Structures are given as structure tokens and as C-alpha cells.
Structure 1
């Protein structure tokens, strides 16, 4: 059995159990935790669930289990359960903490993101060259901890559901999450659509609808290894690499967007909504790729993610695996 099929089957079982058991999940008490301190969390387990309560740590991406520790309902110290989180010499990478009851993962996981000094993007003199990243002293200051969420877009053409990738672009993913939570993406048009034979991108995120607006601030380009492919969510910017804000684009094909790898920050991937993406991409446009009758991003909201490792595969993976893409 493949990892993908295991995820689909275990995901179905976990979702059924979750739906029948009421609210149950692991929740961090604070967003930020300084280095070498208690990592306070609360485990909520309804009485209807029977079995040993444990918490497991998982590698990001593969969902491979790193470690597991017994726990109890109520307040707990994640660092006490997993001393490796503060151990010197341990690699600092995003991991996911998952609540389990018996053999079943329950509720969304908690993202454990290390606070590390970021590399700075510098544009070489040749504007056609990819930005270069300069890393200064890499200081580890603690963790950012938050409940894993999907992002659901409601558009005039239908819905799209995204999984964010804080393991690949942590600060970009968190910035986008904060904008979504604050209601930034409300009634905003898709102002640029490059579909057809070019199969490039659909772009949204400027409240003015003109292509130059944003949230009133910019964030630096973050190095990302997520390939641009169908359904991948990436940050739009100007020629200056460090002008990322709120504008994002959704890739329409690997063939049309592969040259963006290393130049733009890909930070999420659609897990449902292929038909919606294609419907938006099919909108008639003028010679400047502006839609004649722009589709609208009506709202974007955060919803609880599936237990880690159990949710749908990205649309790009579904397509390559000959699965039905919805």
C-alpha cells in the first residue's frame, strides 16, 4: 500500500471518528514560546472517546512519525514530553504535534515552527537572474505554535481549498494566514488571468483591483523549494524580490510556471477545487490579461485541517496519480 493510499484510508477513518466524537484537539496556550521554556498546550478529549491518549510528533511533508509520548487530558508541557525540541544539536525544522486517542489521530495538529534568522534575498544586476539568498548568523529564538488550518476560498465560480506549507515557507504562510483571518480577502476581483494555451496563472489579492495595491506593508522574499505546479499558491511581487504583500497567484500548469521556481515564494497547494480554478482561468480577457467580467474572491477563511497526514493530496499529485481531481 502506498503512503498516499494509507493517508486517504486513515483520513477517512479519522474523519468519521472526529465527526462522531465532538470537539477534540490539541491547542497551544501561546503563539510564541521563547527558547528553553515550557511549551504550554491543552489536550481536549471528550468522554465519548475511549483509548490511550498520546501525542505524536511528525515530520512535515511526509508525515512520518518522529516520536510519541503518553499524555492526559488537560494542560501539558510539550517540551516536557519531547525534550528533543530544546536539545542542542538537533536540526531546527517545522514539525507537527498530533493528538491521538487509541490508534486514531484526532483533530487538527499543532504546527511547531522554529524561529530562525531568515536569509535575505538580493537581486543580481541582471534582472533575468534568480534572486540570491544571503544567510547571516542563524539564531534560534524559540517556537511559533498554532493549530493547523486549511484556507477555503469562496469565489464567484465555486470553492477552492488550500493546504499551507509552513515547513517550506513559514513566514510567508503565516503572513497569508493572518491576512485571511483578518478578513482581508473579501470581495476582491481576480485582476489578472493568463490561461488558454499559455496555462500560466490566475492572480488576486489587490483590494483596488488594479494590480498595485496591497496590505500596507511588504515582506521579504522567502526561499521556497515547493515547485510551481497546478494549484500551487505563490506570492506575487514587483521586480524587487522583497515586495511581497497580499497579492497571490494560483498556478495553472507545471509547464507554464516551472520557470518561477526559486524566483517566487510558493507557500501553499490546492487540495480541492480544480474545476473552480479552471473555470476562473477560462474567463475571457483583453490584450493585457485583464478579465472582461472579473471573477470575484468573495471570501477566504480558515477552517480546521484534517489530522496531520490524513487529508487529500495536492491537486498536482492527484492528477499525476490518475486520481479524480475535483
Structure 2
């Protein structure tokens, strides 16, 4: 009950930040509110500067994963009903995150609007618990006992996996839309600035919660408390932040349930850290991947939500920070802790560019190596 209440507090706080703010002076499509009930109007404002009053605006419905423009509808400056323009928002058999992008005379302008369907959540369990519950439900005592006899390392590996319950026969209930202007996230660090694009099409609730923390000022003077420049096989691995206490055990007072993001853990990918045995313990801590080879094992186990589009050299500089040697016996200090931790001085969001002008995610080949 407590964790559910904390989750609600986090969602409300995030929602407040989305609803506030001055009206933009540039051309863009802007939601009138954050939530729209299913089979109801979805009023938004099509803002067109007076200098372009004679232009022909249109709204494009885009699949952010494939980049395909699914539909295009003419519009006019002023109030528009996006749900009436695109009935598929309410009629799709399997609703998914889409983008509504304003274009004027064929040129995309302003950030796209994220159109996130509100679907009943799917329960997610760690792999060990899921298998034990399945064995119990089937009254399979032999399999149940076999699971309990697994070696400790095998059980730990099962605990790290996340297993979602199957969708009900009729699909999940679709209650409406959450709609907001797409953002970029900027991490201003003691080593320089990093900019991330977000992927609400992969993990909408986790992205929304992360934006709420960023816009609420959570990541102010927060250290990179864990740096693993290379794993035991010498492969680039991760840097981790998001805990103001710097211990690796702290974070925000709310959790976000696991979402099965298909975004591969590769160089510059931002993913949410969690307890190894609880897939639903995602909070404020996150890590940034330094390479694909070692991080591939994280796919499906952690919720990847963003991609680095600027500041690859900053990421490499943070990864090159010297870390402490072996801790004294009995110490509870976090392993891989830097001797002088780099800091996130502040984090903030800014409007994303039009969809067709979005930056390509950086790859490890784009960034010169930093001597460690």
C-alpha cells in the first residue's frame, strides 16, 4: 500500500510539471491538458505565428519506432481536435505510442506531441518468483522443488530477469491518452554537458517519471557514485548516478513498475537502475552504457529509456574518472566508487526538435577514446 501511495505521489508531481509553463511564441501543436479520456475529444492548440498566417498547416501522425508517417490531416490555426482528426487513436486493436507533428507548408515545426495510450498495467515478476508461482499454480511439486534446489548463482540470474504476465484474451483496457510535448533531457555535469533524446515508445511510464524528476530539480548536485569503465573482461561497461546520498542505496521516494523496453543497451543508452531481485524497484538511479559488448546482457532486464545525442566526449571523460582501490574489510561503501565523483550540477529539459530533424544517437565510433 505504501509503495502504491508513493507511486501516486510521483505521478501527480510529474503531471504538475507538464501542465505548467508559459505559452510558446513559436509554431507548434500544444495539448490543452495532459490527459484525455477514451472516445472523447482531444483538444489541442495549433499555434501558427502571424507571419505565417497564410500558410497551410497540417498534422502528421507518426510511428516513432519505424519513422513512418501513418496519416496526414489538414489543420487550421487555433483549437483542433486531434482525436477527431485521427480516429485510429481510439479504434486501434493494439494501441501504441504515436506522435502528432505539426507541419507548415510541408515543413515540420515545433516538437511533436507524444500520444501515449493509457493501458491497464501488466504485472511483472522476477524470473524466479514467476516460475515458482507457475509451478505452484500447476501443482507441480517436482518442478517447485527443483527450482528451490538450484545453485545460488542460477537463482540470482533468474531473479535478474523480468517476466510479464500474458495479456488478457481481450487485450488490455484502453482508458485514453496522456499527451505532452516531446522533450530532450540535458545533464549539465562537472565534466561538461550531455543531451539525451527520450524513447517513450519503448517505456512510456518510465520516461514520464524520469521527466518529472528532471523537471522537479531532483538531479541537482548529484554524484556519479558508481563508475565501471571496464568489466572483468576489459569491455566498456557503465557509469551510474541518480542517488543524492551518493551511497548507491538512496533515491527518489517512489517506484515505477518494470516496462519491457526493446531499446538495446549500447553506447550512450540511458537505462534505469533497480534492485537485482525486484524488477519493479525502478526509481531515480540510472546508468549510461559505455559499449554494446558488455551491456548486451542487460537487455530485457533493465528499462532503457534514452539515447545520447550530444556530449559523447563528456561521457568518456566521466568514465575515465579514477576509482578507489579495494575497500577496508567490513566497509559498507559502494564498490566502484570514484575517489572524486563527477557531479550532475543540474538537469533540465528543453523542447525536442521536429521529428524529421531529430539527431542521430551517438555511437562509440563517433567519440574519440579517453585515456584511463
1:312 to 359, 362, 369: 359
Counterparts of 1:34-45 in structure 2, within 5 Å, are 34-45=37-48
2:346 to 295, 299, 308: 299
Tell whether 2:259 aligns with 1:222.
yes
Which residue of structure 2 lines up, in the alignment, with residue 273 of structure 1? 311
Counterparts of 1:213-252 in structure 2, within 5 Å, are 213-239=250-276, 240-252=278-290
Which residue of structure 2 lines up, in the alignment, with residue 262 of structure 1? 300
> Deviation at 1:211?
0.5
Which residue of structure 2 lines up, in the alignment, with residue 47 of structure 1? 50
Say how many residue pairs are matched. 301
Which residue of structure 2 lines up, in the alignment, with residue 17 of structure 1? none
Query: Aligned equivalents of 1:241 and 1:83: distance in 2?
Result: 35
Q: Following TM superposition, where does structure 1 have runs of at least 4 consecutive aligned residues deviating by more than 6 angstroms?
A: none
Structure 1, unmatched stretches of 5+, are 1-21
Task: Decide which structure has the larger Cα Rg and report it.
Answer: 2
Query: Aligned equivalents of 1:38 and 1:86: distance in 2?
Result: 10
Tell whether 2:106 aligns with 1:108.
no
> Deviation at 1:325?
8.0
Query: Aligned equivalents of 1:311 and 1:136: distance in 2?
Result: 33
> Deviation at 1:324?
7.1
Which residue of structure 1 lines up, in the alignment, with residue 85 of structure 2? 81
> Deviation at 1:217?
1.5
Query: Aligned equivalents of 2:338 and 2:235: distance in 1?
Result: 15
> Deviation at 1:118?
2.2
Contact 1:117 1:136 in 2 (8 A): no
- The alignment's TM-score, normalised by the length of structure 1, stands at 0.89
What are the superposed Cα offsets for residues 188-222 of structure 1, whole Å, 9 maximum, x if unpaired?
A: 00000000434111100001111111111112111
Give the secondary-structure state (helix, strand or coil) at the position aligned to 1:69. Answer: strand
Structure with greater helix share of residues: 2
Contact 1:122 1:131 in 2 (8 A): yes
Query: Aligned equivalents of 1:264 and 1:26: distance in 2?
Result: 33
Which residue of structure 1 lines up, in the alignment, with residue 7 of structure 2? none
Which residue of structure 2 lines up, in the alignment, with residue 10 of structure 1? none
Give the secondary-structure state (helix, strand or coil) at the position aligned to 1:178. Answer: helix
What are the superposed Cα offsets for residues 26-51 of structure 1, whole Å, 9 maximum, x if unpaired?
A: 00011011110000100111122252
> Deviation at 1:95?
0.6
Which residue of structure 2 lines up, in the alignment, with residue 192 of structure 1? 226
Contact 2:313 2:367 in 1 (8 A): no
> Deviation at 1:81?
1.2
Tell whether 2:91 aligns with 1:60.
no
CA RMSD of aligned residues (A): 1.8
Distance 1:325 1:141, change over 3 A: farther
Tell whether 2:101 aligns with 1:98.
yes
Which residue of structure 1 lines up, in the alignment, with residue 152 of structure 2? none
> Deviation at 1:124?
2.5
Deviates more, 1:117-126 or 1:222-231: 117-126
Query: Aligned equivalents of 2:320 and 2:368: distance in 1?
Result: 17
What are the superposed Cα offsets for residues 91-121 of structure 1, whole Å, 9 maximum, x if unpaired?
A: 3011100011001001001000001122222
Give the secondary-structure state (helix, strand or coil) at the position aligned to 2:212. Answer: helix
Tell whether 2:186 aligns with 1:147.
no
Query: Aligned equivalents of 1:310 and 1:325: distance in 2?
Result: 25
Query: Aligned equivalents of 1:78 and 1:98: distance in 2?
Result: 11
Structure 2, unmatched stretches of 5+, are 1-24, 129-154, 326-334
Deviates more, 1:305-314 or 1:150-159: 305-314
What are the superposed Cα offsets for residues 39-83 of structure 1, whole Å, 9 maximum, x if unpaired?
A: 010011112225211111001123211111111111110011112
What are the superposed Cα offsets for residues 119-139 of structure 1, whole Å, 9 maximum, x if unpaired?
A: 222112322022211135411
Query: Aligned equivalents of 1:95 and 1:131: distance in 2?
Result: 25
Which residue of structure 2 lines up, in the alignment, with residue 28 of structure 1? 31
Contact 1:272 1:325 in 2 (8 A): no
